[in-house]
Homo-oligomer: A and B are copies of this chain.
């Protein structure tokens, strides 16, 4: 198909597709002549994934590009690709290395240790967690161990549920794609469900009439 149809099918404007091609977010079509290229179903699909990650998942273009690179990197097992893509999804922010930060890192290490989780030092989730904990400290909100432990237990259940869901996927490419999509959208879904649950709990608490 040509670019106009690709645009129609993917609901992405032509100039935006060109922009994605320029910035290597989308792989090029097969050239048939000096000013013609053929696009395929794979392009449509890729554009849909890109839009989902950006619009719904809230990823930046840079993060999305990295995720896609890792996702479809050849010569890696599905699990490794998914893992690498996972890493690219975490927004890294520069860290202020003060006393609070040190404390938060220790707290993070202790938590993961206590849980017995095997999480590499390179996993950006560690840093992300530490910076949230550091922020709680700075705001005088002592992050109670119990609450963190509860959160962790619950997070593990969520991860188990979604990995069980993914286990049904036999095709490696489909597995990686599903894993990435679920990681990105899972955050959104979970966040929404948490807020919904909060309202329900508060409602029951203030006007108990079960």
Footprint of B on A, CB under 8 Å? 48-49, 52, 55-56, 58, 79, 82-83, 86, 89-91, 93, 112, 117-120, 123-126, 128-129, 131-133, 135-136, 138-139, 141, 144, 146-148, 150-163, 165, 178, 181-183, 185-206
Contacts and interface: CB of A to CB of B under 8 A. Distances in A.
Contact of A186 (B128, B185, B194, B196): B194
Given A119-B196, A163-B201, A151 B158 contact: yes
Given A128-B191, A204-B118, A139 B198 contact: no
Given A132-B192, A136-B181, A152-B197, 19 more contacts: A52-B135, A52-B138, A86-B195, A118-B204, A129-B189, A129-B193, A132-B185, A135-B185, A139-B181, A141-B181, A146-B165, A147-B162, A150-B161, A151-B158, A151-B161, A154-B190, A155-B194, A159-B194, A163-B205
A125 B163 contact: no
Chain A binding surface, main DSSP class? helix
B181 A195 contact: no
A194 B160 CA distance: 9
Nearest to A123: B199
B183 A198 contact: yes
8 contacts: A52-B135, A90-B192, A117-B200, A128-B188, A129-B189, A132-B188, A148-B189, A151-B189
Copies of this chain held together in the complex: 2
Nearest to A55: B93
B86 A198 contact: yes
The residue among A119, A135, A198 with the most chain B CB atoms within 10 A of its own CB is A198
A50 to B, nearest CB: 11
Contacts of A200: 117-119, 156
